[in-house]
Structure formats: structure tokens, C-alpha cells
Amino acid sequence: MKRKLLNLFLILASAVLLQQGIAFSHSRFSMLGDYSRVVKNNDIDPSALFYMESTLALAAEKSVREKLK
């Protein structure tokens, strides 16, 4: 009986922690939505942002940063 109650408590605690983690990450990473919106609105190739040594990536990053200000 105690084992079942402990398992039930752990399941409920895990569900609450998961829900809180999702809510926290959604608010924490809302800036990614801003970046995504700027990239789409300015027709910037998102793959260019992964290659930091290229001039295209640097120009795209600069453009995104200026638009977010």
C-alpha cells in the first residue's frame, strides 16, 4: 500500500515538474520566436546563421540584431 502511494506521488510530482518545465522554457525561449520572425520577414537563409565564419552569416546575424533593437 505504501509502495503504491509512493509511486502515485512520484508520478504526480513528475507530471507537475514536467508542466512547470514546459511553462518555464516557453517563457524563457520566447526570444527564439523573435529571431524566427525576423529571419522569415527578411528572407534570410536560416542555414547561414550556423556558419559563423562566412561573411553571409555575419551579415545575416548583424541584420537580425539590428531588426530586434
pLDDT per position as a tens digit, 38-62:
888 888 777 766 655 667 777 777 8
Per-residue pLDDT band for 11 (boundaries 50, 70, 90) equals: very high
Q: Which pLDDT belongs to residue 51? A: 59
Q: Would you tell me how many other CB atoms lie within 10 Å of the CB of residue 48?
A: 17
Counting Cβ atoms within 10 Å, is residue 33 exposed (0-12), middle (13-18) or buried (19+)?
Answer: exposed
Write the burial class of residue 35 (CB in 10 Å: 0-12 exposed, 13-18 middle, 19+ buried).
middle
What pLDDT was estimated at residue 49?
Answer: 65
Confidence of residue 65 (pLDDT cuts 50, 70, 90): confident
User: With 90 as the cut, is the pLDDT of residue 36 above it?
Assistant: no
